[in-house]
Amino acid sequence: MQKPLILVTNDDGITAPGLRALISYMKEIGVVVVVAPDSPQSGMGHAITLDSTLYSKKVSVDLEDDAPLEYSCSGTPADCVKLALQELLGRKPDICVSGINHGSNSSINVIYSGTMSAAIEAGIEGIPAIGFSLCDYSWEADFKPARDYIIRIVKEAIENGIPKGVVLNVNIPPLNKEELKGIKICRQARANWKEKFDKRTNPNGKDYYWLTGEFELLDKGEDTDEWALAQGYISVVPTQFDLTAHHAIQDINNWNL
């Protein structure tokens, strides 16, 4: 049987340790092609490049004999997937995996996530897609404890398919292998960022700002991604990119419009 073609991307950049770990895991499953940003693109959401040129080139990051075909891209994570599907791949991939992100993309964070936006872009094109994130922002984070779970999730997605219009958002707690309790299929927790701007002045007298804030969990449910992560489970949230609030249609129809 032909091995599955796996498109691997991320938002932390093509040299990020999380991406290198994901590549090594995916090589155990199929043929890997990497298209990833040439520099960090965290927090870019679903931004795409419209008003400037987009560049891509083949790169050699790994020196192993079985190193995959890799391209760096000057654009955003969504750009990477668009370019991969339209220009760089010889055929439609069987699955797109994005990550492993350095930091959480659970709850409201999915809105801002470049990691998930790359996966969502693939999903829009009808390709099964998964975004993986480790809840550890350190560049030296240990991705190995979740290896077997990541491989299992991807294999199941290839074998069974992912429902049309759905992309999986997978978040992993920063625990040792022995501490990970398993996988929970969850809903997205209701939460928000209580944001602040740290205002400063540079030596030339010009004001500038650093965005800061605190994560505010507003959900006490025991079926959410935040609850699962706190209990030591890997959370899997089926995420849809149809943003229609279907439950509100009837209410709005009752307006005098």
The answer as to whether 230 is a domain residue is yes
The answer as to whether 200 is a domain residue is no
Binding residues, as ranges, are 11-12, 42, 101
| CATH code of 67's domain | 3.40.1210.10
The answer as to whether 185 is a domain residue is yes
Q: How many CB atoms lie within 10 A of CB 38?
A: 18
The answer as to whether 248 is a domain residue is no
The answer as to whether 181 is a domain residue is yes
Domain count across the chain? 1
The answer as to whether 209 is a domain residue is no
Residue 179: half-sphere exposure toward Cβ, Cα within 13 Å: 11
Structural tokens at position 237: 């949230």
The answer as to whether 253 is a domain residue is no
**Which one-letter DSSP state was computed for residue 4?**
P
Residue whose token pair is 């605190």: 214
Binding residues for a divalent metal cation, as ranges, are 11-12, 42, 101
Q: What is the pLDDT of residue 226?
A: 97
User: In terms of C-beta density within 10 A (0-12 exposed, 13-18 middle, 19 or more buried), how is residue 20 classed?
Assistant: middle
End-to-end CA distance of the chain: 58
**For 50-105, how does the pLDDT look when each residue is reduced to its tens digit (9 = 90+)?**
999 999 999 988 777 788 999 999 999 999 999 999 999 989 999 999 999 999 99
Q: What is the pLDDT of residue 2?
A: 86
Secondary-structure breakdown of the chain: helix, strand, coil percentages, each rounded to the nearest 5: 30, 30, 40
Phi, psi (deg, nearest 5) at residue 221: -65, 150
Handedness of CA 140, 144, 145, 150 (dihedral sign): positive
**What domain range includes position 120?**
5-189+222-243
The answer as to whether 208 is a domain residue is no
pLDDT < 70 positions in the chain: 1
